[in-house]
Amino acid sequence: MQKILIATHNAGKLREFSSMFARTPYELVSLSDVGIDVDVDETGVTYAENATLKTETYARLSGLPTLADDSGLEVDGLGGEPGVRSARYAGENASDDDRIAFLLQKLNNIPKEMWTARFRCVIALTRPDAPVELYEGRCEGVITDRPRGASGFGYDPLFYIPDMDRTMAELSFDEKNRVSHRGRASQSVIAALRDRDWKV
């Protein structure tokens, strides 16, 4: 089975990617599986730039085909914030609860009709010495005024999806993988690999 390195230390992302690739002819391996403990500074100003930085660095270090993503929450009433700073929005060492509280504080004086939002994800895929390929997924929703649900991670408990009538954190694992920004981007990656019989 051909190996693809998933370039993240985030356990939630690893679990999601592993589930989505479970029925493919690829074996996903983590950074810890290959003994890499290097962190890549996300200095890009777009999701694509950050994902590309990570996939190029880890492909070079590992010698393996590498998949990396960068994703974020964009709230219309905040001019698209937190965006690429989603993980660091409330500070470098903030917890998910800290980030949720900080976001609600920022929205305190914003009219509710401007609480529309989207999750966006860009996946960068490359092999050593090969061009980077980019795939994007998004999920539209609305920010709720209090967290709901115990699944997922990050801002999931605040992100209400009207078509599902639930927050992202109230969805089952399989439901989330079908409709989430990361799930949709991953589906595009898998389709591209299948169409081209992508070889390592």
Q: Whose CA is closest to 152, among 29, 16, 36, 2?
A: 16
Question: Listing from the earlier edge strand, what are the strands of the sheet with 133-143?
Answer: 26-30, 2-6, 66-75, 116-126, 133-143, 159-161, 166-167
**CA nearest 7: which of 120, 125, 92, 87?**
125
For the record, the structure tokens of 125 come out as: 């895929």
Instruction: Give catalytic residues, as residue numbers.
Output: 70
Q: Which two tokens stand for residue 200?
A: 């390592």
Cβ within 8 Å of residue 192, ≥6 positions away: 133, 135, 198
With H, G, I as helix, E, B as strand and everything else as coil, classify residue 158. Answer: helix
